Amino acid sequence: MTAPSAASATAPSSSAPVLSVRDLRVSFSSRRGRAPVVTGVDLDVHAGETLAIVGESGSGKSVSMLAVLGLLPSHAVVEGSVEVDGEQVLGAGPERMRALRGREVGMVFQDPMTSLNPVLTIGRQVTEGLEERLGLSRRAARDRAAELLALVGIRDPQARLDNYPHQFSGGMRQRVMIAIGLSLDPAVLIADEPTTALDVTTQAQILDLVQDLQDRLGTAVVWVSHDLGVVAGIADRVVVMYSGEIVEQAPVDALYATPQHPYTRGLLGALPVLGERRAELATIAGLPPDPVARPSGCWFAPRCPIRAQACVTAHPPLREVGPGHLARTLCEVAP
Amino acid sequence: MSGLLVVEDLQVHFGGRRGAEPVKAVDRVSLAVERGQTLGLVGESGSGKSTTGLALLRLVEPTGGRVELDGIDVRAAGRRELRGLRRRMAMVFQDPYASLNPRRTVGDSVAEPLEVHGLHRDDRRGRVRELFSLVGLADDFVDRHPHELSGGQRQRVGIARALAVEPDLLVLDEPIASLDVSVQAQVLNLLVRLQRELGLAYLFIAHDLAAVAHVSDTVAVMNRGRIVEQGDAQEVYRAPQHEYTRALLAAVPQPDPAAERARRAERRALVAELAQD
Query: For residue A93, is pLDDT > 50?
Result: yes
**Contact at CB, A281 and B214, closer than 8 angstroms:** yes
Contacts of A277 in chain B (CB under 8 A): 213-216, 233-234
Domains of chain B: 5-276 (3.40.50.300)
**Quick one: average pLDDT of B243-247?**
91
Give the pLDDT confidence of A116-157 residue by residue, as tens digits.
899 999 999 999 999 999 999 999 999 999 999 998 888 899
How many angstroms separate the CA atoms of B145 and B142, rounded? 8
Query: For residue B27, is pLDDT > 90?
Result: yes
**Quick one: average pLDDT of B226-230?**
97
Going by pLDDT thresholds of 50, 70 and 90, the confidence category of residue A282 is confident
How many angstroms separate the CA atoms of A215 and A143, rounded? 23
* Residue of A152, A264, A267, A283 to mutate, interface with B, max B Cβ within 10 Å: A283
Residues 251-270 of B with CB under 8 A from A: 251-258, 260-264, 267-268
Superfamily of domain A1-46+59-104+225-271+282-335: P-loop containing nucleotide triphosphate hydrolases (3.40.50.300)
Query: For residue A55, is pLDDT > 50?
Result: yes
**Contact at CB, B210 and A271, closer than 8 angstroms:** yes
Each domain of chain A, given as residue ranges in start order, spans 1-46+59-104+225-271+282-335
B128/chain A closest Cα distance in angstroms: 23
Residues 6+ apart with CB under 8 A from A257: none
In Å, what is the CA distance from A17 to each residue of A106, A220, B43?
A: 16, 9, 42
**Contact at CB, A275 and B260, closer than 8 angstroms:** no
Range in A40-44, A144-148, B106-110, B259-263 with the lowest mean pLDDT: B259-263
For the ranges A4-8, A57-61, A203-207, the maximum mean pLDDT occurs at A57-61
Query: For residue A6, is pLDDT > 60?
Result: no
Range in A262-271, B26-35, B175-184 with the lowest mean pLDDT: B175-184
Nearest beta carbon to residue A56 from set B180, B247, B271: B180
Q: Which of A1, A16, A54 is nearest to A237 (CA)?
A: A54
Contacts of B182 in chain A (CB under 8 A): 56, 266-267, 270, 283-284
Radius of gyration of chain A (CA): 21
CA angle A59–A65–A71, rounded 5-degree value: 115
- Interchain CB contact of A6 with B (< 8 Å): no
B48/chain A closest Cα distance in angstroms: 14
* Residue of A173, A200, A224, A300 to mutate, interface with B, max B Cβ within 10 Å: A200
How many angstroms separate the CA atoms of A195 and A202, rounded? 8
Range in A108-112, B126-130, B176-180 with the lowest mean pLDDT: A108-112
CB A45 within 8 A of CB A19: yes
ipTM above 0.85 for this complex: no
How many whole angstroms from its chain centre is CA B204?
Answer: 4
Give the pLDDT confidence of B69-120 residue by residue, as tens digits.
999 999 999 999 999 999 999 999 887 677 788 899 999 999 999 998 888 8
% helix, strand, coil for chain A, step of 5: 35, 25, 40
Q: Write down the pLDDT at residue A274.
A: 79
What are the backbone dihedrals phi and psi of residue B273, each rounded to the nearest 5 degrees, phi first? -60, -45
**Contact at CB, B260 and A226, closer than 8 angstroms:** no
Query: For residue B45, is pLDDT > 80?
Result: yes
**Contact at CB, A201 and B150, closer than 8 angstroms:** no
Q: Which of A108, A103, A149 is nearest to A130 (CA)?
A: A103
Contacts of A270 in chain B (CB under 8 A): 181-182, 184-185
How many angstroms separate the CA atoms of A280 and B160, rounded? 20
Residue A286 gets which letter from DSSP? S
- Interchain CB contact of B223 with A (< 8 Å): no
- Interchain CB contact of A240 with B (< 8 Å): no
For residues B173-188, one letter each, b for 16 or more C-beta atoms within 10 angstroms of the residue's C-beta and e for the rest, the string is: bbbbebbbbbbbbbbb
Range in A50-54, A196-200, B198-202 with the lowest mean pLDDT: A196-200
Q: Write down the pLDDT at residue A10.
A: 38
* Residue of B181, B191, B207, B218 to mutate, interface with A, max A Cβ within 10 Å: B181
Give the pLDDT confidence of A286-299 residue by residue, as tens digits.
888 999 999 999 99
**Contact at CB, B249 and A274, closer than 8 angstroms:** yes
Query: For residue A7, is pLDDT > 50?
Result: no
Contacts of B249 in chain A (CB under 8 A): 274
Q: Write down the pLDDT at residue A3.
A: 40
Q: For residue A245, what is the enclosing H or E element? A: strand A245-251
A101/chain B closest Cα distance in angstroms: 29
**Quick one: average pLDDT of B198-217?**
92
Q: Which of A255, A204, A170, A97 is nearest to B263 (CA)?
A: A204
Going by pLDDT thresholds of 50, 70 and 90, the confidence category of residue B63 is very high
Residues 64-93 of A with CB under 8 A from B: none
- Interchain CB contact of A111 with B (< 8 Å): no
How many angstroms separate the CA atoms of A188 and A69, rounded? 11
Global model pTM greater than 0.90? no
A334/chain B closest Cα distance in angstroms: 19
- Residue with the larger pLDDT of the pair B111 and B277: B111
